[in-house]
Amino acid sequence: TDELYLGALDRVFQHAAPATGTATLRGSRVRPGAIRNTALLTVEGGRDDICALGQTSAAHDLCRSLRPHLKRHHLQANVGHYGVFNGKRWEREIYPVVRNLILAME
């Protein structure tokens, strides 16, 4: 719904809840630093006009309990915000990175 979407924008981007440690889910505080048993892949578009460079990769610092070999970041040159997850660059360059990480973690 519009309300859900606008609320998420407010919490995540305007109030920076994940970065400031004030994010909650179902009434409980979200603690990214407690995440230990998963892989983390962040993807950024080099020409993203909505999310600034570094905003996505900041998740690596927040998930401080993850071992370094479980953290990966992919910066896709010459792609904007919407091109990160659709179109030719997604199919040919970004999706293979996502797929290979999933396969490596199985």
pLDDT of residue 78: 93
Residue 83 is classified by DSSP as G
Model confidence pLDDT, tens digit, residues 63-87: 999 999 999 999 999 999 999 999 9
Retrieve residue 42's tokens: 């962040």
Model confidence pLDDT, tens digit, residues 34-67: 999 999 999 999 999 888 888 889 899 999 999 9
User: Is beta strand 40-45 parallel, antiparallel or unpaired with respect to 28-29?
Assistant: unpaired
Quote the CA–CA distance of 37 and 91 in Å, as a whole number.
28
Model confidence pLDDT, tens digit, residues 11-27: 888 888 888 889 998 99
pLDDT of residue 61: 93
